[in-house]
Amino acid sequence: MPEHEAILSLIQQAGHRLTPQRVMVVDAIGDLGDHVTVERIHEHVLESYPYMDLATVYRTVGLLKRLHVLNEVMRGSVSHYELADPAHRHHHMVCEHCGSAIHLPTKYLDALQAQLMHDTGFEPHMEHFTISGLCADCRKDTGHSHNGRPHSHSDANGHAHASTAQ
């Protein structure tokens, strides 16, 4: 029985054929873990099936994204992927400078989702959400500033302070 049976079943329920190539791509993403590139998925599949072409991996990744069973996280200009758990929303904060990805608890986005629905009538689908910015370490370096000044932050009392380069 395939390890990712729920995802494979969802592919079929959505009216798509469950090809061996799709199974191999889903299994490769699961085997490789979080935040993997299409190229790495392809390399992994080639180890056991040397006839898989890169275009098939890209098409399968696109299908999995449309079915909301694959999360995409941009790290710099490169997309990274991970299998989604439909029962648990999964969010990230990604540093624009160093590319680190930090998991963002859903509690921060629940209020935003409710407010958007109330104010605009728009229902945002926030199964996966990525916020880009600067991590704490990169914020300390004024060279990463958008305006050439240290990044400001607030202390525990809400007072703004400038970060200094170390």
Of 65, 67, 63, 66, the C-alpha closest to 80 is 65
Residues 86-132: tens digit of each pLDDT: 566 667 788 888 878 888 877 888 888 899 999 999 988 776 677 88
Domain range 1-88, CATH architecture: Orthogonal Bundle (1.10)
Q: How far apart are the first and last CA of the chain?
A: 54
Q: How confident is the model over 75-89, as a mean pLDDT?
A: 76
Full 3-state SS string of 52-74: CCHHHHHHHHHHHHHCCCEEEEE
| Token pair recorded at residue 154 | 């607030």
Tell me the C-alpha distance between 61 and 135, whole Å: 28
The topology under which CATH files domain 89-153+160-166 is Dna Ligase; domain 1 (3.30.1490)
Cα angle 20, 24, 26; round to 5: 115
Residues 2-53: tens digit of each pLDDT: 568 888 998 999 999 999 999 999 999 999 987 899 999 999 999 999 999 9
- Does residue 166 carry a pLDDT above 90? no
The pTM (predicted TM-score) of the whole model is 0.61
Contact call for residues 109 and 126 (beta carbons, < 8 A): yes
Q: List the domain boundaries for the chain.
A: 1-88, 89-153+160-166
